[in-house]
Homo-oligomer: A and B are copies of this chain.
């Protein structure tokens, strides 16, 4: 590993949610990008390349966005890794800037979903499990049942993930949902795959998020003295489990943790706060445990005890997470980086994590069991 230092110099987002049909993918991406560029004080002339993540945007979506913000002609890479598409774009930007190829690049995650997706996201064509009915919600319901059985966790403890994340995003002006949800509402919501109900599932959202990734020379060019550093950005793929066994011992999360701690030269004990891919309530708990951030089997109890709430010892999803900030799939990985950036620069307003100095983001794409295609990206950023 010979990558140089890589920083985030600015961030921008549009509010996630259901946007009208006339608010196009190009408009959303351009608006988030402009905000990030203004935030960093960088002009389009100084942006050297674009890295764009999306799933459903169609061919050369990044170029279509670039043409709207004065970046026509710049190199554009479009990245697809399902729900971790935006995080994968960030990773390739981190490599290119760390390699010295560029000093200032723009990373965009974007997705227009509400126009095209009714009900849940369709599984990918090669996903034989999903074709047999083992869709995302079913997989996570199985995980919840097993977790409750193995560790004596309660339905209420799992539901508290949704209560916590909705409470956080009341203070996030970019969140899809910005009002508190009571435990009773989560427990009595329409069943989706028991024990999980509607509020245990992340919503279908439209959205866009963008960051400016910079080398030390790029920061100097912008007159920025210090900026949060990307200490590492890991990508692993493959199966959730390594063979038959406990669905809650996620092999892919364990490996994502090992890889990010190796790349960043930091350990689980160094992480102050987390942006976690809580596509379902139970997933937040299982993945925190998989990364070694919470002891195995303790996550549900610790959630109920407030350990992962704002004000707790390791806040998780101060932004509201996928459950409440929303989940425009290609945008999610970049939105997590925006949140890390705002937290590490003390600009997160009412949802600020006190003394935030090291944050971790985890983003997962692909099929339920991951037999064919799970893709997990982990990022650690320091102040």
Stretch at the interface among A36-44, A52-60, A133-141: A52-60
A113 to B269 Cα, complex, angstroms: 49
Contact of A75 among B4, B101, B126, B237 (CB under 8 A): B237
Copies in the complex: 2
Render A56-88 as a binary contact track against B, CB cut-off 8 A, 1 for contact: 001110011011000011111111111000001
Residues of B within 8 A of A366 (CB): 59-60, 63
Stretch at the interface among A90-98, A183-191, A218-226: A90-98
Q: With A64-B372, A88-B77, A239-B73 known to touch, is A82 a contact of B59 (CB < 8 Å)?
A: yes
Asked whether any CB of chain B lies closer than 8 Å to the CB of A26, the reply is: yes
Chain B nearest CB from A334 CB (Å) reads 15
CB distance A2 to B75 under 8 Å? Answer: no
Asked whether any CB of chain B lies closer than 8 Å to the CB of A100, the reply is: yes
Render A150-173 as a binary contact track against B, CB cut-off 8 A, 1 for contact: 000000000000000000000000
Q: With A79-B79, A95-B95, A372-B63 known to touch, is A73 a contact of B2 (CB < 8 Å)?
A: no
Chain B nearest CB from A101 CB (Å) reads 6
A80 to B64 Cα, complex, angstroms: 13
Chain B nearest CB from A336 CB (Å) reads 18
Residues of B within 8 A of A74 (CB): 236-238
Q: With A101-B3, A101-B95, A237-B76 known to touch, is A371 a contact of B67 (CB < 8 Å)?
A: yes
Residues of B within 8 A of A239 (CB): 72-73
CB distance A77 to B79 under 8 Å? Answer: yes
Best-buried of A1, A55, A67 by chain B (most CB within 10 Å): A67
Render A100-115 as a binary contact track against B, CB cut-off 8 A, 1 for contact: 1100000000000000
Asked whether any CB of chain B lies closer than 8 Å to the CB of A181, the reply is: no
A2 to B2 Cα, complex, angstroms: 10
Asked whether any CB of chain B lies closer than 8 Å to the CB of A125, the reply is: yes
A126 to B30 Cα, complex, angstroms: 14
Asked whether any CB of chain B lies closer than 8 Å to the CB of A374, the reply is: yes
Given contacts A60-B373, A63-B237, 9 further A-B contacts (CB under 8 A): A59-B80, A60-B366, A63-B366, A63-B372, A73-B236, A73-B255, A74-B238, A95-B96, A95-B101
A residues neighboring B (CB under 8 Å): 1-4, 26, 49, 55, 58-60, 63-64, 66-67, 72-82, 88, 91-92, 95-96, 98-101, 124-126, 234-239, 252, 255, 365-367, 371-375
Q: List 20 A-B contacts (CB under 8 A).
A: A1-B101, A3-B99, A58-B124, A60-B367, A60-B372, A63-B237, A63-B372, A63-B375, A66-B237, A73-B238, A73-B255, A75-B236, A77-B79, A77-B81, A78-B79, A78-B80, A92-B92, A92-B95, A95-B96, A95-B99
Q: Closest 7 CB pairs between A and B? A: A73-B238, A99-B99, A63-B373, A60-B373, A2-B100, A75-B235, A72-B238
